Amino acid sequence: MSDKRRSEFELLVLPHLGAAYSLARWFMRNPQDADDAVQDSMLKAFKGFGGYAGGDGAAWVLAIVRNTCLTKLERKRAESNIVVLHDVMETLEASRHPSMVQPAASQDHAMIMEEERKSVHTAIAALPVQFREVLVLREFHDLSYREIADVVGTPVGTVMSRLARARERLKAQLMKDTGAESGKVS
Amino acid sequence: MTRMDCAEVGDLLQPFADGELPTDERHAIALHLAGCSNCADALAELEALRSRVKRAGTHPLPPDLATRVRAKLAAQGDTKVSSTWRQRSMLAASHAVAAGLGGFLVYGLLTQADRQDRVRHDLISSHVRALMSGQPMQVASADPHTVRPWFSGRIPFSPPVKDLTAEGFPLLGARVDYVSPDTVAAMVYGRRMHRITLFVRPIAHQEPVSVSQSSRDGYNTVTWRDGAFRYDVVSDLNRNELTAFAKLIHDGSVN
């Protein structure tokens, strides 16, 4: 690749690396797999840069990241069901671990915030992938319904209904968490 | 304005909170919310959930990942496979441009690309400099019959001048500019908020001109030759619309 093409790639694609990682992290649900997925995605983007027809660079990159992650997840699932179980266990552990430290009045604000952050993250990670992706693209990537539809490859109406269901489930999950928490305390 | 009931508002509450609704529906919902505490509560709950999610935030980029990605890409660029791919894609791109401009234009060897790059850089600089000066035109006119004679006293050639207002690219004016090593005619066109500079000059010193398209620092350029003239258009307009503009100019200059 020429230096010119390379600098175009630097200019148009690499600024979205943070967004790419964020999305990959929500798909893969652990840092190592997200890291791998981003590297693979960037390589694909680099190789496919000739076919990039201009337009929104972020949406183009995110669509590549999404496809890469889905392929990886599919392969993982095919390889072994144990892996999936392991993921679930990991998620459960992550959610259980912080509550082993009882929040006390003396604990500082930052710690409580961290607790809150973890429980929201765990609840999002527990969403089925088709709900999780639209929620993440909307809330963390600030994509419009139209842009989400382009990345995910579904009609706008589907984006809307999935987003509504994602939020319903998330709300239910967070309420359940709060319930479990207070149950434990009493 | 049509009134909405709770069921209708309930269905539209999420797109309402996401800012996805047109003004009239937004107003109808606001009107309903003002008089319905159930729906107002539902919206408040939704907003609370959204801000809880936003406060939790997403996962930040690991500090060394950008470096590792760059290293991986750098290693990639040196392989034979990717250079073959590059030639093929550039060929495809130039075919596409050639086809877009009418297909019959002569286009030069791809190895010209690097030499052309320098010229393109100068043209983009001229375009940007002129816009930044606030005086991109020495003559402000949408009338080719004003612009054409204006050129004739200032440069030793007479470039074709076309107004494309009907096609959505109004002619705004023109200037004479110096783009090393030539004096060029520069015409400024508008497209929404964007400005397009069309540079025209006689082809000098047996210079081979290839039909090409490129983008650099957010600016797109399209270059082609036609008879005795070389044409370059520069703009921050997207590539498709700029190519459409180039095609209009090209087709116009034939007549």
Output the pLDDT for position A180.
58
Please indicate whether residue B207 or residue A108 has the higher confidence score (pLDDT): A108
pLDDT in tens, A125-142: 999 999 999 999 999 988
**Which residues of chain A make contact with B214, given a CB cutoff of 8 A?**
4
DSSP B90-136: HHHHHHHHHHHTTS-S----GGGHHHHHHHHHHHHHHHHHHHHHT--
Q: Angle, nearest 10°, between helix axes B23-34 and B6-17?
A: 120
A27 pLDDT above the threshold of 50 = yes
**Residue B1 scores a pLDDT above 70:** no
DSSP, res B165 = G
Q: In this predicted structure, what is the pLDDT of residue A93?
A: 52
Determine, for residues A50 and B54 on separate chains, whether the beta-carbon distance falls below 8 Å.
Answer: no
Residue in A closest to B71 by C-alpha: A39
A45-92 pLDDT tens trace: 988 887 776 667 788 899 999 999 999 998 888 775 554 445 555 555
User: The domain containing residue B157 runs over which residues?
Assistant: 135-249
- What does pLDDT average to over chain A? 81
Q: Tell me how far CA of residue A164 lies from CA of A15, A95, A136, B46, in angstroms.
A: 30, 24, 13, 10
What radius of gyration do chain A's Cα atoms show?
Answer: 19
Residue range A1-81 forms a domain whose CATH class is: mainly alpha
pLDDT (mean) for B61-72: 88
Could you tell me if B188 and B175 are in contact, meaning their C-beta atoms sit under 8 angstroms apart?
Answer: yes
Both B206 and B244 in a single domain?
yes
Choose the final residue of a domain: B56, B73, B92. Answer: B56
Let me know whether B117 and B167 are in one domain: no
Last residue of a domain, one of B76, B108, B128: B128
How many domains, in total, are found in chain B?
3
Instruction: Parse chain A into domains and list their residue ranges.
Output: 1-81, 104-178
Q: Minimal Cα distance from A7: which residue of B?
A: B216
| d(C-alpha B197, C-alpha B129), whole Å | 11
Q: What pLDDT does A87 receive?
A: 53
The b-or-e profile of A57-72 (16+ CB within 10 A means b, else e) is bbbbbbbbbbebbeeb
pLDDT of residue B104: 34
Residues B119 and B194 in one domain: no
HSE (side-chain half, CA atoms, 13 Å) at A35:
11
Q: In terms of domains, do B115 and B186 share one?
A: no
Give the class (CATH, top level) of A104-178.
Answer: mainly alpha
Indicate if B49 and B107 belong to the same structural domain.
Answer: no
Residue B182 is predicted with a pLDDT of 80
Confidence of residue A99 (pLDDT cuts 50, 70, 90): very low
Asked whether residue B255 is assigned to any structural domain, the reply reads no
The residue-averaged pLDDT of B209-224 equals: 76
Whole-number pLDDT of residue B79? 45
Query: Would the CB atoms of A171 and B238 count as touching at under 8 Å?
Result: no
Reduced to 3 states (helix: H, G, I; strand: E, B; else coil), residue B75 is helix
Mean pLDDT of B192-203: 87
At B114, the pLDDT band (50, 70, 90 cuts) reads low
**Residue B155 resides in a domain:** yes
**Is B86 in contact with A49 (CB distance < 8 Å)?**
no
> CB B53 to CB A25 under 8 A?
no
B145 and B198 co-located in one domain: yes
- Do residues B155 and B242 share a domain? yes
**Residue A150 corresponds to which tokens in the numbers above?**
């382009």
- Predicted confidence at residue A107, as pLDDT, reads 64
Mutation target vs B (from A21, A30, A156; most B CBs, 10 A cutoff)? A21
pLDDT band of residue B90 (cuts 50, 70, 90) is: low
CA–CA dist B44, B39 (Å, integer): 9
Nearest CA distance, A120 vs chain B (angstrom): 6
Q: How far is CA A12 from CA A55, A140, A143, B227, in A?
A: 10, 20, 18, 35
Size of interface A-B (CB pairs under 8 A): 123
Per-residue pLDDT, A112: 84
Residue B166 confidence (pLDDT)? 87
Is pLDDT of A2 > 60? yes
How sure is the predictor about A117, in pLDDT bands with cuts at 50, 70 and 90? very high
HSE at residue B99, side-chain half, CA atoms within 13 A, is 6
> Are B105 and B201 contained in the same domain?
no
Contact B132, B125 (CB under 8 A): no
pTM score? 0.55
Q: Using CB atoms, which residue from B14, B65, B85 is nearest to A167?
A: B14
Pick from A7, A17, A124: CB nearest B66: A17
Please give the Cα distance from B23 to B44 (Å, whole number). Answer: 20
- pLDDT greater than 60 at residue B244: yes
Q: What is the pLDDT of residue B81?
A: 39
Which residues does chain B have within 8 Å of residue A4's beta carbon, measured at their own beta carbons? 113-114, 117, 214, 216
Cα-Cα end-to-end distance for chain B: 53
Chain B residues within 8 A of A121 when measuring between CB atoms: 56
Q: Is the pLDDT of residue B248 over 80?
A: yes
- The alpha carbon torsion through B138, B144, B148, B149 (nearest 10 deg) reads -90
Contact B136, B171 (CB under 8 A): no
Greater confidence (B71 vs B252) lies with B71
